[in-house]
Copies of this chain bind each other. A is one copy, B any other.
Amino acid sequence: MTDNDPTEPTTERTRVRRAADRGRYDTETVHSILDDEQVAHVGFVVDGSPVVIPMLYGRDGGDLWLHGSVASRLVRRLSEGVEVCVEVTIVDAYVMARSAFHHSMNYRSVVVFGTAELVTDDDEKLHGLRAITDHLAPGRWDEVRGPDRRELRQTAVLRLRIDEVSAKVRGHGVVDDEEDLGLDVWAGLVPIARTLGAPVPDGDLAPDVVMSPSIVALVESSGN
């Protein structure tokens, strides 16, 4: 994104056309959606056919970080500098209307286009892996054993600039046709939230190991 105008896309293919009023192009909206979700849906083309895989990711400034095993066919393909489309979506509510036609969802989604770049410098790789690990639970990276040389060699780290990007947000109530408002059908929103349960300690955990601050904070921040 070259500026912070929430109403103008940087390229034509990122322009939200259907329900154009739902389009958002400002950095703040894009980053907040990326920061609220953990799984990205990464699309790329293999032999002319589309492939979509779910991947963990991290964000650091204007960079989106992905990683995977260097032995993975798909990560190898991504490493060769192919175009990707990364989509991230959070569903906030079911929109239950009086008519089938007006059923919908409240959601926040981001779509990033670009070419994922293979990171080869070890310090940069560690930087990306920190972003991915801390995206799961802020502060986690500093609590755990970092990658050794063998693990680092086995891990491919990819960086995607968050430049060609758009967000789409639906965040309002039911929109039914005027003539349906009197129907004897319940209509409204059913809110959806992702909630975290009580952490389950690994069976091999020594009895005196206390829960890490990052995990405590993560569970607390989810409202549980």
Interface residues of A (CB under 8 A from B): 13, 17-18, 38-39, 41-46, 48-54, 56, 68-69, 71-74, 83-87, 89, 91, 93-94, 96-101, 103, 105, 107, 109, 111, 113, 129, 133, 136-137, 140-141, 143-147, 151, 155, 173-174, 176, 180-206, 209-212, 215, 218-219
Contacts and interface: CB of A to CB of B under 8 A. Distances in A.
A174 to B, nearest CB: 4
**Copies assembled:** 2
A80 to B, nearest CB: 14
A101 B74 CA distance: 19
Contacts of A44: 50
A62 B109 CA distance: 28
A110 B181 CA distance: 39
Most chain B beta carbons < 10 A, residue from A143, A151, A204, A215: A204
Contacts of A196: 190-193
A55 to B, nearest CB: 10
B38 A91 contact: yes
Given A71-B18, A205-B188, A50 B41 contact: no
